[in-house]
Structure 1
C-alpha cells in the first residue's frame, strides 16, 4: 500500500527548512492545523497527515488488531518517515498524538531532532499520587455514552473539549469533525485514547522536548502537563494563556510562536 496515500500525506512550507511533522488528535484531521501552518512554513517544511481512519486517509487500511494500541499508530508514523526518508524530524503531537510521538521517538530516536507535546496526557485516569483528570467511572461512562449514541456524544463532548463557550463556532467545528469520522473506528480510537497508560514511556525520551499546555483545559489539566514535563529529562514546559484542549484553534498565534521558537532552537 502507498504510505503517502494511506495517511493522506501533504508537505508544504520552505524548501530546505527543518521538517516539522504535525499529528492531530482524536476525532480530528490535518485540517485542525490550518491556522498555524503558514507561520511554521516560513522557516520549516511542514508535513501534515491523517491518522489511518481519520480525514482523507485510506479507511480500509485501519486494522482492528494493529490499531488496538497506540503502538500501531506509532508504527504508521515511522512508516511515513521511512517512506519519505526523513531524518531530524521535529514531531508535534496534539493530545493523544503526543503519546504516539513519544512511542515513535523511543522506537527510532535517530529519526527525530525534537518532540513537541501539545496538551498531552499519558494517562487520563486518576490514581493515588497522580491526577489524570478523570476517575475510572468517568471514563467508563464516557465510553458507554459514545457506544450508545456516537452523534449525541459528539455534540455534547466536543464543546467541552474545545472550551471557549463564548466562541461557539470552535465547538461547532470540532463537533462537525467528530461527526465526519467513521463511528466504528472513532469508538475504537476513543478506547485506545482514554484507557492507555504511557507514563512509563516518558522517562525513555532522549530527544529535546517541549511540553505546551493551555492554562485551562478540561481534558488535560495543568497538573498533567507538569507531570509530563517532570518525567522527561531536560524538557521545557510552556503554559499558554489559552482555554481548551485545542489551542491550535483557540489560540493559534501563541501556539505557532511556541512551536516555531522551539524549531528555531534545533537549527
Structure 2
C-alpha cells in the first residue's frame, strides 16, 4: 500500500516550493480549508490524514508502529519520500508540531521550515515544568474517552476550541472527534497525551515558528515559551487568537504569520 493511498494524500497548487499541512488529534485535513487556499498560488500544497483519522485507510493501523509519535512521523516521511519532497515547509497543529519535529530530526534535508501551532512536548506537569495537567487528570480524561467516546467529545470540543461566540466551530470539532473509530481514537489520544518529547527539542535544527494562542487549555502560554526556549533555531509569536485551533477560529491571523515567516 502506498502512503499516498494510506494517508489520503491530496496535492494541490503548482508552486516550486512545497507546504505540507498536518492536522491535530481527532481532526483531519479538512480543518485546513480556511488556510491552505491562501498558499495555492505560490506553493504546492500537500494535505493528508494520519492513519485512523479522516479518510485514511484504517486497515493500515498497527499497534506496534503507532505505539509512539515516531510511528506517525514515519507517515510524514513516507509521504515525503513518495512525493520526492526536499526543503518542504511543514505546518503542524497541536500533536503534529511534535510529529513534525521528530520527522525533521530523522530527515532534516526534507524540511526547510517548521511551523508549530499550539505545540506541547509534554502535557503532564513534571517538577518545574508546567504542561498544564496532572498525571491523574490525564488518566481520568483518557478513561472517560475509552468508556464514553461521544460524551468525551461533547465535553472536550468546546473547551479545546474556546471562542464560545462561535459554537459552530466546537460543533465541527465534536463531530470530527465522533467520526473516529473509538479504539483508534483512544489509542491516538493515549500516545498523544502521555508522550514526553522535551528531550527531542534541542535536536531540532530546522528553522521553526512557534505560534501560540491566548487562553489555550491544551497548550498554555508557558508551554509555548518553553518550546521556543528549547528549540535552537526558533521564533515565538503570541497571537491575538484564543483557544487551541486558530486555523479554524482565526485563519487570517494564521495565514498572515505563516506568510511572514516563510517570506
Secondary structure of the structure 2 residue equivalent to 1:106: helix
Secondary structure of 1:203's aligned partner: helix
* Residue number in structure 2 paired with 1:102: 101
CA contact (8 A) 2:163 2:242 kept: yes
Paired with 2:193 and 2:170, the residues of 1 have a C-alpha distance of 20
Structural RMSD (CA): 0.8
Q: How far, CA to CA, are the matches of 1:27 and 1:260 in structure 2?
A: 26
2-structure distance, mates of 1:16, 1:30 = 20
Q: Unpaired runs of 5+ in structure 1?
A: none
* 1:128 positional shift: 1.3
| Residue-pair matches, total | 263
| Residue 76 of structure 1 pairs with residue 75 of structure 2 | yes
Q: Which residue does 1:63 correspond to in 2?
A: 62
Q: Structure 2 matches for 1:97-176, cutoff 5 A?
A: 97-176=96-175
The answer to whether structure 1 residue 198 and structure 2 residue 222 are counterparts is: no
Shift of residue 10 of structure 1? 0.4
Q: Following the alignment from structure 2 to structure 1, what is the Cα–Cα distance between the partners of residues 218 and 2? A: 35
What do the CA deviations read for 1:125-158 (whole angstroms, capped 9, x no partner)?
0111111010111101101111110111011111
Structure 1 residue 6 corresponds to structure 2 residue 18: no
Q: How many Å separate the matches in 1 of 2:221 and 2:41? A: 30
Question: By how many angstroms is 1:207 displaced?
Answer: 1.1
Q: Over residues 154-179 of structure 1, what are the superposed CA-to-partner deviations in whole Å (9 max), with x where a residue is unaligned?
A: 11111110011121111000000000
In 2, distance between residues paired with 1:148 and 1:172? 21
Matches of residues 23-38 of structure 1 in structure 2 within 5 Å? 23-38=22-37
Q: Distance in 1 between matches of 2:176 and 2:137?
A: 23
Q: State whether structure 2 residue 234 is matched by structure 1 residue 235.
A: yes
Runs ≥4 residues deviating over 6 A: none
1:204-239 deviations in Å (ceiling 9; x for gaps)? 011111000102201000000000000011200011
Map of 1:180 onto structure 2? 179
Q: Per-residue deviation at 1:16? A: 2.9
In 1, Cα distance between equivalents of 2:233 and 2:6? 35
C-alpha separation between the residues in 1 aligned to 2:223 and 2:15? 36
Query: Partners of 2:158 and 2:122 in 1: how far apart?
Result: 21
CA distance in 2 between partners of 1:138 and 1:163 (Å): 20
